[in-house]
Structure 1
Amino acid sequence: MIESRPFLTRIPDPSIIVKDKIPTSVAGEGRYRFVATCDTDGTYAMIYCPVGHAFTVDMKVIKGTKVKAWWYNPRNGETTLFDTFDNVQDERTFISPDKGELTDWILVLDNAALNYPVPGKK
């Protein structure tokens, strides 16, 4: 999955995950740490979600006017395109397909104009 997007320009970027007023109530802090990466050109972002929990993403990281949103299941390698939307909001809230603990997922957000392959496919 990680090789399905440009990797020479990939950087870790925890600022993609929007912080909450209560640090331990937001994904990215506390016991279940979410992590994020993107490329320096703003063509995609990936957010690892170790637990089913609502979290908010800073959408300014994606430079395109339309975004494709995918859920990648690292437990079985399956990918689902779940939305294509106009990139007009500064922030957008997501929740992984499975709620609860031990249900990790990876959210992949792509600039739709670039027609990247399905995450996990080369």
Structure 2
Amino acid sequence: MRQLFELRPWYKLVPDQSVIAAGQADGEDHIQAARAEDGSFLIAYLPTGKPITVARDKLSGEKVRARWYDPRKGTWSLIGEFDNSGNRKFEAPSTGGKDDWVLVLEDARKFSLELAR
């Protein structure tokens, strides 16, 4: 998890559950989200990998890059780049009780594609 936070200005993060447009649940499926104060990136922790729909209007920039971070292995998977409009559903690569994932959305102009591979 250290790598996840060291690659971005983590000190700008503020808790913000409003970025979750759909998919929030209680108990072990509860998703925790935070976004940078300037809207440059957001992070959502999915403890069981259940699908999440994100309100991208909380992010800055015309294009948003999405990635999955696997906290169990410390590895990244690029999802792609999208126009920054509307809501978008994301499905983790795997689901289940021990399949936690971190979804990272970032302003594609502000963060390098090479930042995390």
Q: Which residue of 2 aligns with 1:98?
A: 94
Instruction: Check conservation: 1:17, 1:28, Cα contact below 8 A.
Output: no
Aligned pair in 2 of structure 1 residues 36, 30: CA closer, same or farther (>3 Å)?
same
Q: CA separation in 2, counterparts of 1:36 and 1:28? A: 13
Question: Tell me, which stretches of 5 or more residues in structure 1 are unaligned?
Answer: 20-25
- Structure number with the higher strand fraction is 2
Q: CA separation in 2, counterparts of 1:15 and 1:70? A: 20
**5 Å matches for 1:1-122?**
1-19=4-22, 26-89=23-86, 91-116=87-112, 117-118=115-116
Instruction: Check conservation: 2:76, 2:116, Cα contact below 8 A.
Output: yes
Q: Percent identity?
A: 35
* Runs of 4+ with >3 A deviation: none
Q: CA separation in 2, counterparts of 1:28 and 1:42? A: 24
Q: CA separation in 2, counterparts of 1:101 and 1:30? A: 12
Question: Tell me, which stretches of 5 or more residues in structure 2 are unaligned?
Answer: none
- Structure number with the higher helix fraction is 2
Question: Aligned pair count?
Answer: 112
Deviations 1:1-36 (A, max 9, x none): 1121112321111111125xxxxxx33434311100
Aligned pair in 2 of structure 1 residues 100, 66: CA closer, same or farther (>3 Å)?
same
SS state at 2:82 partner: strand
Residue 111 of structure 1 aligns to which amino acid in structure 2? Answer: D
> RMSD value over aligned CA atoms?
1.6
Instruction: Check conservation: 1:53, 1:96, Cα contact below 8 A.
Output: yes
Instruction: Check conservation: 1:72, 1:106, Cα contact below 8 A.
Output: yes
